[in-house]
A and B are shown apart, each in its own frame.
Chain A
Amino acid sequence: MIDFDEELRKFHPSKELEDAENAIRALDMTDVVDLIVALEEKSKYQQQ
């Protein structure tokens, strides 16, 4: 049997059109390439 309250907590309010701008700003645009670049820069910094 499923737990109703537990399942209900998994639901989140859907974004409305008025919140579209905020939703776009809140998008996490970081990708693996960014991580690699950051790691390379960090590595260079440590070497220096």
Chain B
Amino acid sequence: MRCFNCGCELTRNDFCTNCGADIQEYRRIVRLSNQYYNDGLMKARVRDLSGAVVSLRASLKLNRTNIDARNLLGLVYFEMGEAVAAFSEWVVSKNIKPDKNIADDFIEDVQSNPSRLSGINQSIKKYNQALDYARQGSLDLAVIQLKKVLQVNPNLIVAYELLGLLYLQSQEFNKARRILTQASKIDRNNTRILNYLREAEEGIRIRNNAEGRGDDAGPVTVGGDAITYRSGNETIIQPVNTVERKGGSSILNIIIGALIGCALMFFLVLPARINKASEQMNAQLKQVSDELTSKNADLEEQTKRIEALQAENDTVRAQIDNLTGSSGMVERYDYLASAALNYMRNPQDVVGTESLLKNITASAVSGNSMITDNVTGLDPGIYSEAFRNLYNYLNGDVASKAASSYIVQGKEALSRGEYTAAIADLRRAVEIDPANDEAWYYLAESYKESGDSVNATQIYSRIVNEMPDSQYAERSRNSLTNGAATDNTAETAQTQQNDNAMVAVDNEAALAEALALQQAAAGAAAQGEAPQ
């Protein structure tokens, strides 16, 4: 307890130890206020709301700082549908005691449901409107409005009171009694309600007397073992007939009850359990499926990664092979060094040096091609500049010499009738020096003498067409006209004879046909068809 004068905490003394104020009377007042609060609390517990309001107001009149009384008064107002009055009390309570005040919870609880609060406010507005209607004499409108009010705010006691009054005024005593009875369930000891209810009962009684019959002739209430109803002015209580059950039927009932229980178990409990187990199984299945999907995704990712690593490994391995394999760069450097060493030790051994250089890169000359670009060119992207310079120097010096040496060897072999050796040497010569017309010519001669008139004819044709200024062009043309062409014509004629074995061909016709084929071959050569 605090001093009313200075607010200091009071002791057992009859005066304030801080300001010296006499607090004897103050203690009595506070005690009396608490007694009124207790009285209000007791009335509120038995739903004597109007009585509780009177006691709590008296408590607050004695001591306005009685927080419990003020909060309870707000609660009672709210229960009676008077939301604004309730809010007012709670707000004042919170002002007096800001901390640890249950009014906070009340306010928060109401404000947390705005729709409910709005509904209460609308019901209050409609009540005020109904009151206006009643004062203006529009009782029907007022009744309609009050019915709406009670649908939204079924605890608004004043609405019950006004509606009951309107029913009394319109002589609708039964309705008045019903509505006032409902109100009395909310506020049991409301003086006005009890007064109106008494008036309604009186009106009903008078009317019943006038009509000579009971208004409530039917059963009114059904108790545990009795029915109560009124007949005129008398209240009749009639016991309910009951049949005493025998022992055998009780056992039968127990059995029936057990069967019903089993049936309930079978039809209600068991399906629920089964559904629950099924849901659990489905949940587990879904979880396993999710995990499987995740694992599959991981596996696929790992597979792709392995493939990428494999490809990278192949690339690296190819690069390593390119560097260290039989055709790798190390090997090529070895060949170049060997060629350079051989060139320095034995400059006359151009064939040996050229053979070593040949190993470095495959000859750009293949078949019977005579015009080839970059014969000794090396890819700058693969070979270093020093490598290429040394290679070009050696190759430029020994290539022509080696080609000449091969040509001499080939011609000697040709003269000896060793056509295979001659062809090999001369092919090597044209590979080294594809522009050497002499090598090509004697290669064709070697083919011709070895009986390979096809290759011979092709090379002669190439010389004629691609090296027309060469001294061997005319000789090649003559060979085409005479030697190789004749042999070729003979072969062609023989082929014709084999194909047309049943037809006799004379020598003149075969010769004419051979000449025609020779011209066709020369024409095809003129179109620059590449030799194979």
Contact = CB atoms under 8 A, between A and B. Distances in A.
B165 A14 contact: no
B5 interface: yes
B128 A14 contact: yes
Contacts of B169: 4
A7 B163 CA distance: 12
Contacts of A1: 199
B26 interface: yes
B5 A37 contact: yes
B29 A20 contact: no
A32 B29 contact: yes
A16 B29 contact: no
Nearest to B118: A17
B161 A36 contact: no
Contact of B88 (A2, A4, A23, A32): A23
Taking chain B's interface residues, is the majority helix, strand, or loop, or is none over half, making it mixed? Answer: helix
Interface string B44-60: 00000000000000001
B405 interface: no
A8 B135 contact: yes
Interface residues on A, range: 20 to 34
A31 B60 contact: yes
Interface string A3-24: 0100110110111110110011
B26 A36 contact: yes
Contacts of B165: 2, 4, 7-8
A19 B121 CA distance: 11
Given A2-B168, A27-B88, A29-B92, A15 B61 contact: no
B121 A31 contact: no
4 shortest interchain CB distances as A-B pairs: A15-B84, A31-B64, A13-B128, A17-B121
Given A7-B165, A27-B92, A32-B62, 14 more contacts: A2-B199, A4-B165, A8-B134, A8-B165, A10-B192, A14-B82, A16-B125, A17-B124, A23-B85, A30-B64, A31-B60, A32-B29, A33-B29, A33-B63
